[in-house]
């Protein structure tokens, strides 16, 4: 969410940013919110004047009564009543206008970084760099669920009967591999100086509003019926929410945290074959990383975060690339975002396995996440997040890149200690 003062003083910059995000339908909102803000400030000024006059007159009533000037005192009491009635009306209008201003400000997109490429959708995202050599073996690679079935590692039919489409049972070596990847990711991030956290898996509506746009919430979040609680779509939601209405000493920054959680997403819409299996699902587990830092340091931590994911995948010999997300592909709160994509030998292309985002002070403004400097001055923090790994989707890349011609799957050295020393998985079904 933008600072209303910034929007008031820079309407043309805000409108140009909306155009860069191809959201022209939001352009009228800028003038609308400026007018509402003007009305709000006028009402607040009138309310302050009414309070001052009421207090002044009220103090004088006592003096008039002491002097025996009862009629004058009664006349002044009428004024106090009039001031109070108008003040009550002003306070009602103030509350109403503040809500209107906030609701509009929540949907006006954040100012994107100048380095963000301009484009309408994800087809305009720009490849930045490749890491590792993508290889296509000389044997056919089955669809990922078929690989898992060769190890008796997945049961989609039973999950469909129990919970519906978009759910799964992982079993045996595949389930163990899934957990091993998460354990390795946890230790990988701890070794990089991040504090390990297991957060709440449900959050209240005010936290939801603070961490994401309404469009994202509608497409993602499951609400708990009858309660002010939502299942998280990623632990970033509750991790950033951890700092709601807090003031952190500047000397204590940055806050670098890595968190494990299950994630729950509606994943609205129909999807093709490449998004079936365990690619696009309603429930999965993920290791996340978030940073809360000083504004001037957020570009540095942005680079640190996406490089952590690249290094993680490369430590498991999985080729990856980074994509700079274009303006039209950025969620409204984001200043800048880079996707990390893993190589799929079967599809002969890369696919998304993580997304790194700098949200500037947007989440901090919504949630009241502030920093106090040594001089006592308070300011809004910057927040960032990135996926370390989401194993169900990462399993696709892992299995395809480590599958051998005989159907076995190599276990990289980094994972063996989490797999009981196993160096290879051997299929039970051919």
What pLDDT band is residue 279 in, cutting at 50, 70 and 90? confident
String of DSSP letters for 321-357: EEEEPPGGGS-TT-SEEEEEEEEETTTTEEEEEEEEE
Q: Inform me whether the pLDDT recorded for 269 exceeds 90.
A: no
Give the C-alpha separation, 1 to 291, whole Å: 18
**Integer Cα distance of 381 and 337 in angstroms:** 18
Q: 50-93, pLDDT tens digit by residue? A: 999 888 888 788 777 778 888 888 888 888 889 899 999 999 99
Pick the range with the lowest mean pLDDT from 92-106, 276-290, 292-306, 402-416.
Answer: 276-290
Burial class from Cβ neighbours inside 10 Å (0-12, 13-18, 19+) for residue 56 reads exposed
- Residue 58 has what pLDDT? 82
Please report the domains of the chain, with CATH numbers, ordered by start residue: 4-105 (1.10.287.40), 122-425 (3.30.930.10)
Report which of 206, 205, 200, 209 is spatially closest to residue 239, judged by C-alpha positions: 200
What values do phi and psi take at 14, rounded to 5?
A: -65, -40
Distance CA 49, CA 83 (A): 10
The model's pLDDT over 358-395, given as tens digits with 9 standing for 90+, comes to 999 999 999 999 999 999 999 999 999 999 999 888 99
What does the pLDDT look like over 171-210, one tens digit per residue?
999 999 999 999 999 999 999 999 999 999 999 999 999 9
412 contacts: CB under 8 Å, gap ≥ 6: 315, 316, 317, 402
- List beta partners, residue 338: 324, 356
**What is the rounded distance in angstroms from the CA atom of residue 407 to the CA atom of residue 425?**
9
Residue closest to 408 by CA, chosen among 386, 393, 390, 423: 423
Question: Look-up: residue for tokens 């500047």?
Answer: 250
Cα–Cα distance list, 421 to 286, 425, 427 (Å) = 24, 11, 17
> Which tens digit of pLDDT belongs to each residue from 302-340?
999 999 999 999 999 999 999 999 999 999 999 999 999
Pairwise CA distance, residues 213 & 9, whole Å: 24
pLDDT-based confidence at residue 270 (cuts at 50, 70, 90):
very low
State pLDDT tens for residues 150-170.
999 999 999 999 999 889 999
Give ∠ CA 129-134-136 in degrees, rounded to 5: 155
Instruction: Please name which of 298, 324, 316, 328 lies closest in space to residue 388, comparing C-alpha atoms.
Output: 316
Which among 386, 336, 355 has a CA at the least distance from the CA of 112?
Answer: 336
Between CA 168 and CA 154 the distance in angstroms is: 7
pLDDT at position 272: 54
Q: What is the mean pLDDT of residues 115-135?
A: 96
Mean pLDDT across the chain: 94
Quick one: 289 exposed, middle or buried, by C-beta within 10 A (0-12, 13-18, 19+)? buried
Separation of first and last alpha carbons in the chain: 54
**pLDDT tier at 217, thresholds 50, 70, 90:** confident
């Amino acid at each position: 969410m933008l600072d209303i003062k910034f929007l008031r003083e820079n309407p043309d910059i805000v409108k140009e940013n909306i155009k860069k995000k191809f959201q022209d339908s939001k352009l009228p909102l800028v003038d609308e919110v400026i007018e509402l803000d003007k009305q709000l400030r006028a009402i607040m000024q009138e309310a302050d004047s009414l309070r001052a006059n009421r207090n002044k007159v009220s103090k004088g009533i006592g003096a008039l009564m002491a002097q025996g000037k009862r009629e004058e005192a009664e006349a002044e009491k009428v004024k106090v009543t009039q001031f109070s009635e108008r003040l009550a009306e002003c306070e009602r209008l103030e509350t109403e206008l503040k809500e209107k201003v906030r609701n509009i400000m929540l949907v006006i997109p954040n100012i994107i970084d100048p380095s963000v490429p301009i484009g309408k959708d994800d087809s305009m995202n720009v490849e930045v760099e490749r890491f590792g050599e993508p290889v296509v073996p000389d044997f056919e690679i089955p669809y990922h669920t078929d690989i898992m079935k060769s190890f008796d590692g997945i049961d989609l039919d039973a999950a469909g009967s129990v919970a519906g489409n978009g759910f799964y049972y992982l079993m045996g070596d595949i389930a163990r591999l899934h957990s091993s990847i998460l354990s390795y990711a946890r230790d990988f991030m701890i070794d990089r100086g991040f504090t390990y956290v297991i957060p709440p898996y449900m959050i209240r509506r005010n936290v939801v509003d603070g961490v994401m746009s309404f469009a994202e919430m509608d497409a993602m979040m499951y609400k708990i019926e009858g309660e002010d609680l939502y299942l998280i779509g990623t632990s970033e939601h509750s991790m950033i929410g951890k700092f709601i209405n807090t003031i952190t000493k500047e000397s204590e920054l940055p806050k670098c945290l890595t968190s494990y959680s299950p994630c729950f997403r509606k994943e609205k819409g129909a999807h093709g074959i490449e998004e079936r299996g365990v690619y696009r699902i309603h429930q999965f587990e993920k290791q996340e990383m978030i940073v809360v830092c000083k504004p001037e340091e957020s570009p540095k931590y942005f680079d640190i975060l996406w490089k952590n994911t690249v290094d993680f995948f490369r430590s498991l010999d999985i080729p990856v690339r980074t994509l700079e997300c274009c303006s039209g592909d950025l969620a409204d709160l984001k200043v800048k975002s880079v996707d990390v994509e893993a190589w799929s030998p079967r599809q002969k292309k890369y696919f998304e396995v993580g997304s790194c985002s700098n949200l500037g002070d947007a989440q901090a403004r919504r949630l009241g996440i502030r920093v106090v400097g040594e001089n006592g001055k308070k300011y809004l923090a910057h927040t960032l997040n990135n996926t370390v790994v989401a194993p169900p989707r990462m399993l696709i890349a892992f299995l395809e890149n480590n599958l051998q011609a005989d159907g076995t799957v190599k276990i990289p050295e980094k994972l063996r200690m989490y797999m009981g020393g196993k160096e290879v998985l051997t299929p039970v079904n051919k």
